[in-house]
Amino acid sequence: MSSITFIGAGNMARTIGTLAVAGGNTVEIMARDQVKAEVLAKTLGGGTTAGKWGAVPAGDIVITALLYAGVVPAVEQYGDALAGKTIVDISNPFNATFDGLAHSEETSIAQEVAKVAPASASVMKAFNTIFRNVLENGRPNVFFAGDNARAKADVAEFIESLRLRPLDVGGLKMAHWLEGMGVVTMGLAGNGVGHWDFALGVDEINS
């Protein structure tokens, strides 16, 4: 089982945290508002602890469950406290009309995180293509990207502990396209699917 720290105490930290506790993982919550971290830790139960914002996370895997604009600044603020950690960015940097990305360049929040994280940290993108309500009620595929094989194996094991299917899409530069998949998911919710109770997945066709 894995040791996980969530930086952020919002909806995604609660949802993935609930699955993590049920999967037997060790969970810690850190938030800029210490009271919110403590309340969520208590809500999750199962020995979940609340750490102090900016301190060395207890978890080997650190999930930044923050609104996208806060992710790079938070990683910068943590600085060397994240040395050796696997940092998992789950954010969707949507533009104001939810039909494009907030950054116009071919980058991603995860790639920008890698520029400011300690050299010994491994950065990954995961979970961003799945609506929270689907994580709560379904068994969606979890796409992830990253450059470090060991970190990818650890995160895949964590995802399997949630009883979800991890799917490796390649190196960290693929995080940009995972963010694009987030945009596609929003487009489907507003158009062809018309609701939020679905997730993108992979159908393997056997001829």
Ligand X SMILES: NC(=O)c1ccc[n+]([C@@H]2O[C@H](COP(=O)([O-])OP(=O)(O)OC[C@H]3O[C@@H](n4cnc5c(N)ncnc54)[C@H](OP(=O)(O)O)[C@@H]3O)[C@@H](O)[C@H]2O)c1
103 counts as binding ligand X under rule CB under 6 A: no
Q: Is 116 in the site for ligand X (CB under 6 A)?
A: no
CB 96, min distance to ligand X, A: 14
Binding characters for ligand X, 131-170, by CB under 6 A (x = yes): xx--------------------------------------
Distance CA 9, CA 12 (A): 8
Q: Is 18 in the site for ligand X (CB under 6 A)?
A: no
If one asks whether residue 37 binds ligand X (CB under 6 A), the answer comes out as no
Residue 127 or 144: which CB sits closer to ligand X?
127
Is 32 one of the binding residues for ligand X (CB under 6 A)? yes
Instruction: Say whether residue 10 binds ligand X (CB under 6 A).
Output: yes
- DSSP state at residue 107: -
How many residues does the structure list for the chain? 207
Q: Given the complex with ligand X, which of 10 and 180 has the nearer CB atom?
A: 10
Which of 25, 24, 33 lies closest to 63, judged by CA?
A: 25
Binding status of residue 173 toward ligand X by CB under 6 A: no
Reference 44, options 66, 7, 13; nearest CA is 13
- The token duo for 73 is 């600044």
Contact between 30 and ligand X by CB under 6 A: the answer reads no
| 54 touches ligand X (CB under 6 A) | no
Rule CB under 6 A: say whether 50 interacts with ligand X.
no
Query: 31, 114, 126, 159: which one contacts ligand X (CB under 6 A)?
Result: 31
What burial letters (b/e) apply to 181-207, b meaning 16+ CB within 10 Å? Answer: bbbebbebbeeeeeeeebbeeeeeeee
CB-based contacts of 193, cutoff 8 Å, min separation 6: none
Question: Using the rule CB under 6 A, is 25 a contact of ligand X?
Answer: no
DSSP states of 41-96: HHHH-TT-EE--TTSPPS-SEEEE-S-HHHHHHHHHHHGGGGTT-EEEE----B-T
Q: Which residues contribute to the site for ligand X (CB under 6 A)?
A: 8-13, 31-33, 36, 65-68, 70, 74, 90-92, 127-128, 130-132
